[in-house]
Structure 1
C-alpha cells in the first residue's frame, strides 16, 4: 500500500515537469532572480530545480541566512558574554560553530564557558527558572520569523518575575536588506523570490515596495519544489509582460496582512534600530533592539563588554555571496580549505548557508571546475 503525505502533492514530478515546460515556453530573455531565503537555496539545489530551468534564468542566493549575516562583531560580543562569571549563554545550534574573529562559541565552551544549545527561547527561559542564581543569556538570532518567539519569552519572563533572563538581540529585518542590495547596484536583479516563513509573519504587502519603488516583481514561495517553480513562473510572466507586482505562490501560509498576533508581540517588545550585517556593514533601520520598558532584559545593557575590532576570515567571500555578487564556487576556499567539517566562514556552517547547500547538493566537480582553472 502506498502511503501519501501532505507534502507529496507539492512534489509531484508530472506537475513539476509541466511547470518547467511553462517556464521554458514563457521565458524569452535573460533574467536574474534572487531567492532571499537560505531555505529556498537548499530546496532549489536539493530538488535539482536549476536543471529544469532554461538557460535564460540565472538564480542567485541572497542574505536570508540569519546565522550567516550575524556580524563578526556581534558574534565576538556573544563569545565575550559567554565568559561573564557564572553566566549561561544559550543559542541555536548553528551559532555554536560559526567562527568569530578569534574563536567560536564551541571553542569558548571547550575553554570552560557554559554554552548550551536550545531549540526555542522558551527553553532558555526554563533554564533561567532552574538556575535563579545565575544569569542566563539568550543569543537572539533570526529574522521576523524568530523575533516574535523571543518577544514572547521576554513577556513571559516579565510576567513571572524571572529576573535572571537576558536577551542579546541580533535580530534583523528582511525588507531593508533587500533595499540595500538593490541600492548598492552590485548585482542587477530582475525579480525576487520572497521568503515564505518571514512573509507568513510580515504579510505579502510588506514587499509592495519592490514593484512600487524599484519596478521589480516579487513572488512569495513555499519550500517545496512546486512552490518554488510556481513562484519562478509568476516572476517570468510578470517580467515578460512588464507588469511588476506582488504574487503570492504560498497562499496556504501567507496572507496579505501577515500574522497580526506575531507582529503585535514583536512590536510590543522590540523597536527598530540600525544593525550590522556581515557583508553589508551597518544597514539603517534593519534590526530589532529591546524597547526601553524591557531594558532590564537586555544583555548588552546588563553586561556591557568591550571587544576588539572584528576580523573577517582571510580569503572568505561570504559577504559577497550573501549580497548575490558571487556564488559559493566563486570563492577560492570553497570545498577546499572551507568544508562543513572545517568551515572558514558562516555560509558553510549554517543549515541555511548557501555554501553548505552548494557543497551538499551541488555537483562539486562541475561547480568548482572554473576555480580549478584559476588556481
Structure 2
C-alpha cells in the first residue's frame, strides 16, 4: 500500500480508541525522531513499554555492582549508559569517583583481552539485556571456557520479553495492540508472541526501525483491532522461527528463572541466569531479590507499565532530567523519559 495512503488512514482514523505499546526502547526513539505521534489520529495513542534493558534493571543489581567495584583486585566492566543508573543510593559513576574500579566497553568480548592482560584482577561483566544481547554473552561464556580464562565473572540481569508482556496483560494494562520488538524477534522469531495474542485477542506487529517500517506496522495493528494475530512487517531480518543457532547457544549456558523488573516487582519465569554447572562464572546474580526507589516520587514503574506518560511524573523536567536522573527511564537513551525529554514530546 502507498505510504501516503497509510499516513492519511492513520491520521483520519475514527474507529475505537487504540492504545498501542511499543515494547522496544529503540522504537520509542525512532517514533520521536520521525515525528510519528503528530501523524496519528487522536484515537491512536502510543505508549512506551518496559523494553529498555537498563531501565528495568533493579536497584539491587546496581548496588551489587557498587560493592564489587570497591573490592580490592576487582574491576566492573559495563556499557556506558549503565554507569549513570542510580542504585538505592548512588551510581557506578559516583563510586568510580570514590575509588571504585569501573571500565566501559563497547562489546562484552573486550573483557577477554582485559582479563588476559591482568590475570591477577577479577573482571565482572555487567550482563544486562534481553534476548537481543544474550547470544553474545553466551559466546563470551564459550570463549572463557575454551581459552581457560578463570578471572572473569558475569553479574546477570537478563530478561525475556514474552513473559513481561503476559504480565502486563494479566495486570490489566490498557493495551489494544503491541508494536513488537524487532531486535528481540530476530533471535526469538515471532511464534513466542502467538499464545499471548490469541489469549488476549490483541494484535502484534513486528516492525523495523525506520519511520516507514513503523507506520506500516501501525497500519497493520490498527486494522487488526481485536484480533489475536502476530504479523511480521520486518521479514527481511526476522524469520518466523528466529535464529536457531543463537537460541541453541543461549540454551547451552543459560536457564529460566524468575526476575525482578525495576519498579514492577518479580515477573515469573522472565529471567535468564547461568546454569548451575557454570556457577563458577557467576558474581552473585541469584542473590538479587530487592528493589528500592532512589526517589519515592519517581513514576518510572508506572511509565514502564504504560500507566503514565513520562511528563505525567511529578519529577519530570524539574528535578529529573538527563543530567540529574532520578529514575532509570531518564538515564538510558532508550528510556521513555529520556526520549520524551530530548524530543520535547508532549503527545
TM-score of the pair, normalised by structure 1: 0.89
Query: What runs of 5+ residues in structure 2 fail to find an aligned partner?
Result: none
Q: Secondary structure in 2 aligned to 1:192?
A: strand
Are 2:333 and 1:351 equivalent residues in the alignment? yes
- Give, in whole Å, the separation in 2 of the partners of 1:354 and 1:307: 25
Correspondences of 1:116-155 after superposition (within 5 Å): 116-155=103-142
- Higher share of residues assigned helix: 1
TM-score of the pair, normalised by structure 2: 0.96
- Give, in whole Å, the separation in 1 of the partners of 2:12 and 2:325: 41
Structure-1 residue corresponding to 2:221: 235
Whether the 8 Å CA contact 1:81–1:305 is kept in 2: the answer is no
Deviations 1:165-201 (A, max 9, x none): 110011100111111111011x321110000000000
- Give, in whole Å, the separation in 1 of the partners of 2:304 and 2:287: 28
Are 2:169 and 1:182 equivalent residues in the alignment? yes
Q: Secondary structure in 2 aligned to 1:19?
A: helix
Structure-2 residue corresponding to 1:329: 311
Whether the 8 Å CA contact 2:294–2:326 is kept in 1: the answer is no
- Give, in whole Å, the separation in 2 of the partners of 1:18 and 1:359: 31
- Give, in whole Å, the separation in 2 of the partners of 1:244 and 1:41: 23
CA-atom RMSD in angstroms? 1.9
Q: Secondary structure in 1 aligned to 2:70?
A: coil
Distance 1:27 1:226, change over 3 A: farther
Whether the 8 Å CA contact 1:77–1:305 is kept in 2: the answer is no
Structure-2 residue corresponding to 1:312: 294
Deviations 1:146-165 (A, max 9, x none): 11101110110001100101
- Give, in whole Å, the separation in 2 of the partners of 1:121 and 1:285: 25
Whether the 8 Å CA contact 1:67–1:142 is kept in 2: the answer is yes
Whether the 8 Å CA contact 1:26–1:237 is kept in 2: the answer is no
- Give, in whole Å, the separation in 1 of the partners of 2:192 and 2:289: 36
Whether the 8 Å CA contact 2:177–2:221 is kept in 1: the answer is yes
Deviation at 1:244, TM superposition (A): 2.6
Structure-1 residue corresponding to 2:181: 195
Structure-2 residue corresponding to 1:42: 29
Deviation at 1:127, TM superposition (A): 1.1
Q: Secondary structure in 1 aligned to 2:6?
A: helix
Deviation at 1:312, TM superposition (A): 3.5
Whether the 8 Å CA contact 1:77–1:307 is kept in 2: the answer is no
Correspondences of 1:70-109 after superposition (within 5 Å): 70-109=57-96
Query: What runs of 5+ residues in structure 1 fail to find an aligned partner?
Result: 1-13, 368-375
Deviation at 1:26, TM superposition (A): 5.5
Whether the 8 Å CA contact 2:74–2:101 is kept in 1: the answer is yes
Deviations 1:248-301 (A, max 9, x none): 111111011000111111110100001110121011100011011211111117
Structure-2 residue corresponding to 1:275: 259
Q: Secondary structure in 2 aligned to 1:64?
A: coil
Q: Secondary structure in 2 aligned to 1:355?
A: helix
Deviation at 1:133, TM superposition (A): 0.9
- Give, in whole Å, the separation in 1 of the partners of 2:52 and 2:257: 19
Deviation at 1:78, TM superposition (A): 1.5
Q: How many residues align?
A: 347
Whether the 8 Å CA contact 2:89–2:294 is kept in 1: the answer is no
Structure-1 residue corresponding to 2:276: 292
- Give, in whole Å, the separation in 2 of the partners of 1:274 and 1:307: 10
